[in-house]
Amino acid sequence: MDFSLPPELVELQQRTRAFIRDKIIPLEGDGRQTHHGPTEEFRRELVALAAKEGLVASHVGTEYGGLGLSHVAKAVVFEESGYSLLGPVAMHIFAPDEGNMHLLEAVASHEQKERWLRPLASGATRSCFCMTEPAPGAGSDPAAMNTTAVKDGDDYIINGTKWFITGAYGAAFAIIMAKDEDGHATMFLADMDTPGIEIVRAMDSLDSAFAGGHAVVKFNDVRIPAKDILGEPGKGFRYAQVRLAPARLTHCMRWLGAARRAHDIATGYALKREVFGHKLIEHEGVGFQLADNEMDIRMSRLSIWHTAWLLDNGGRGSVESSMSKVICSEAIWRVVDRCVQVLGGQGVTGETLVARIFNEVRGFRIYDGPSEVHRWSIAQRIARNGANW
């Protein structure tokens, strides 16, 4: 593997870094950030700033206004976006929209792309992905899905309840997973104002960076035409992997940028603060924590780049993205937790951004598959194929 970046990617990295530094970080104190994400007005203003720089939805193909970035290029650009919690929102590469754009581009029909992908890729709309359900429904085990899709002439009737649906408030449309009468999962596209779709309530959570927050959504006899099936009937679980494998990795990319920001803040403090006659960083208890941060950040980046390279070159993306998700989510958590400790009292208050980053990254060890589920999946492969498979 060649880890050197081509000149055009270095230029894009620097351009993204400058955009975040000069245009986005100064807006981090804007009052239009709620506990359930930035307001739609603020989001649109942020997207407009990125559009001026040609940085909106850079992962989608040029046909839809993006840059058609490879996975390795995304690793570089998305990390830079994550240096501010507003960066992925501005560049319109945050979950769930980023993953939904990838899925639509890979699977949707031309008509569906024009209707749903094109406005989504421009940042004019948002979307949500409806798979997770309350117990005993689908969570870490998608096969437990209880939402049903019953054929009725040329339509399907959808019934069920989903929750932890990110971005539901304010979304223009949803990708809905449901089981047909034979127990096969199918994905459906539906505008959120379709009769029978009900956003029941917002769910309070530690994080507050995702536009539209997280919600409970009910489907009450929702009628969806067969032409609005995404891809082929019965292939919903297969398409879920098309979406989730790269989406796990892009989470790693963005949150690595946030961890780097926390590390920079803590390092800056340790270089200036004097305690017991010495700079804080000169005390091994602090210096060693920052050294560990450097190692966790670099190893996370290597894991991301390795998996991105595999995805770009036809490798086994699902397994490798699972590994990277565990490695990065736990390393990023350690980095930010150490930063809180280094900052002391400032680390648990709003005096710096670190406490906010701390809240944001905790959920990363759970969503898109808890670490334990990924470890279990890897262990099953070891059981089937032995070591070094």
Q: Are residues 183 and 270 both part of a single domain?
A: no
pLDDT at 2: 67
1 part of a folded domain: no
172 part of a folded domain: yes
pLDDT at 388: 72
Q: Are residues 247 and 334 both part of a single domain?
A: yes
Site of tokens 């949803």? 174
Residue 152 domain boundaries: 127-233
Q: How many domains does the chain have?
A: 3
Q: Are residues 172 and 254 both part of a single domain?
A: no
> Around Cβ 127, how many Cβ atoms within 10 Å?
26
Strands (E), 33-146: 33-34, 37-38, 127-130
At 186, phi and psi to the nearest 5?
-130, 145
Pair type for strands 229-230 and 185-191: antiparallel
Of the candidates 79, 92, 93, 95, which has an alpha carbon nearest to the alpha carbon of residue 256? Answer: 79
Q: Is the pTM of this model over 0.85?
A: yes
CATH number at residue 202: 2.40.110.10
What are the pLDDT tens digits along the chain (389 aa)? 667 899 999 999 999 999 999 999 999 999 999 999 999 999 999 999 999 999 999 999 999 999 999 999 999 999 999 999 999 999 999 999 999 999 999 999 999 999 999 999 999 999 999 999 999 999 888 889 999 999 999 999 999 999 999 999 999 999 999 999 899 999 999 999 999 999 999 999 999 999 999 999 999 999 999 999 999 999 999 999 899 889 999 999 999 999 999 999 999 999 999 999 999 999 999 999 999 999 999 999 999 999 999 999 886 677 899 999 999 999 999 999 999 999 999 999 999 999 999 999 999 999 999 999 999 999 998 999 887 76
CB 311 within 8 A of CB 102: no
pLDDT at 386: 85
CATH number at residue 291: 1.20.140.10
At 197, phi and psi to the nearest 5?
-90, 120
49 part of a folded domain: yes
35 part of a folded domain: yes
- 33-66 burial code (b ≥16 CB/10 A, e <16): beebbbbeebbeebbebbbeeebbbbbbbeebbb
pLDDT at 268: 98
Q: In a 3-state reduction of DSSP, which class is residue 128?
A: strand
